[in-house]
Amino acid sequence: MGEVLQYFVTGLSLGGIYALVALGFYVMWEATRAANFSHGDVYMFGAVLTVVLYGSGFPLLLAAALSVAACALGGALIERVLIRPFNREPNAIGWMLTTIAVGIVLESGTTIAYGTLGRPLPTALARQPLRFGGAGIYPQELLLPLAAVAAMVALEMFYRRTILGRAMRAVAFNPTVAGLMGINVRRIAAIAYAMAAAVAAVAGILIAPVVEATPSMGTLIGLKAFGVAIVAGISNARGVVAVGIAYGILEKFIEGYISTGARNAVGFTVMILMLLAFPQGLFGRKEVAKV
């Protein structure tokens, strides 16, 4: 019983990361029908930058805030430089390659500057694990699923209640018409990418005290999160968060009941099978072909 509970709570925490990173994919996809393929490296960079700033004497919260701001700026820049010029035709693929390229540069650049080893980021919430029913977890880890749900609620409010959010939805629905209505489509896209990057950075910073930030921590998380977003149907925040958390829990159970080594093979296979069964995604809308 304790084992099951343990897998569940650690899975919840891992799933929180997937959910937060996948939310970013959703936001980017809605705004541009494209995404930063190296979004996982933004998550990594948020964590690493916070650790570096903290290490050079900034107070923790300020370091985190600066890191989130830097990532948001980077996100907007990625949209402007790497997505927009390469996403002009409906079936363009250039953006995939440019963003993969920047991911490679970001990860290897960080490795050169920072080293391959992880460095700790001590916080009060990662000192004493909570124990209950035979399971244990740091309070810090529980912040992740909470942050994911909070981000989801905030995002839904933002999309429904604010002018900017509504404009973003309009752009998602039809950029040309949105542009004709006086919405600055380009700025909206850049803002969406900045938001996505900020959320990913927050996820990275929240997990850094538990796992120790390394330059290679992001790649696989990013790819899995993209898979999560696609399996969810990449069309609503709730679906993305639900699938993200479920995937985290699934992975922990695979580790527990099969083996740690089988985690990715089994997890990705489940992902592929889900797409086989639901080509539109679990929560996806069937798109009516415009003829």
Partner 1 sequence: MTPRRQFLAVLVLGLGFLTVFRLLEPTNYQIGLLMRCMILMIVTIGLNILIGHAGLVSLGQAALYGVGSYVAAWLALKAALPFLAAMGAGILATAFFGAALAYPTVRVRGVYLAVITIAFGLVFENILVEWLSVTGGTQGLIGIPRGRVFGVLLTRPIYFWVVSGCLIMAFIVQYTIIHSRYGRAMRATAQSENAARALGINVTNIRILAFVISAILAGLAGGLYTFLNLFVNYETFTFLHSVGFLLMVILGGTGTLLGPVVGTSALTYVVEVLQNVREWQVFAYGLLLALIMFVMPRGVVGSLEDAVRRFWTRRGGRESRAWPNRGAPLPDLLGARPSFEGPALEIRGLTLRFGGLTAVNAVSLCVEPGTVHALIGPNGAGKSSLLNLISGFYVPTEGEIIFDAKGIAGLPSHVLARRGIARTFQNTELFGQMTALENVLVGLHQHYRSTLVETLFRLPRWVREERRFLAQATQLLDFVGLSDYADEEARNLPFGHQRRLEIARALALRPRLLLLDEPAAGLTHGEIEDLTATIRLLTDHGVTVILVEHHVEMVMTISDHVTVLDYGEVIASGRAAAVQDDPRVIEAYFGTGGIDVRRPLAASVGG
Residues that bind partner 1 (CB under 8 A): 82, 85-86, 91, 93-94, 96-98, 100-105, 107-109, 111-112, 219-220, 223, 226-227, 230, 259, 261-265, 268-269, 271-272, 275-276, 279-280, 288-289, 291
Distance CA 81, CA 70 (A): 16
CB of 163 to partner 1, least distance (A): 27
In the complex, the smallest distance separating the C-beta of residue 217 from partner 1, rounded to whole angstroms, is 16
CA distance 244 to 14: 9
Q: How far is the CB of 51 from partner 1 (least distance, A)?
A: 20
Report long-range pairs for 127-136 (Cβ below 8 Å, ≥24 apart).
132/5, 133/1, 133/2, 133/5, 134/1, 134/2, 134/3, 134/5, 134/6, 135/2, 135/5, 135/6, 135/8, 135/9, 136/6
How far apart CA 47 and CA 52 sit, in angstroms, is 9
Q: How far is the CB of 101 from partner 1 (least distance, A)?
A: 4
Tell me the C-alpha distance between 227 and 15, whole Å.
Answer: 13
For partner 1, the closer CB: 37 or 158 = 37
Yes or no: say if 53 and 235 are a contact pair by the CB < 8 Å rule: no
Least Å distance, CB 49 to partner 1, is 18
Distance in Å, CB of 215 to partner 1, minimum: 11
Q: Are 134 and 6 in contact (CB under 8 A)?
A: yes
**Residue number, 118 or 227, with CB nearest to partner 1:** 227
Q: Which residues sit opposite 131 in a β-bridge?
A: 136
Which lies closer to partner 1 via its Cβ, residue 6 or residue 264? 264
As a whole number of Å, the CA-based R_g of the chain is 19
- Least Å distance, CB 69 to partner 1, is 24
Counting every residue written for the chain, the total comes to 291
Closer residue to partner 1 in complex, CB, 85/129: 85
CA angle 156, 22, 263 (to 5 degrees): 140
Q: Which two tokens stand for residue 31?
A: 């705004």
- Residue closer to partner 1 (CB basis): 100 or 142: 100
Nearer to partner 1, 175 or 209 (CB): 175
Nearer to partner 1, 87 or 123 (CB): 87
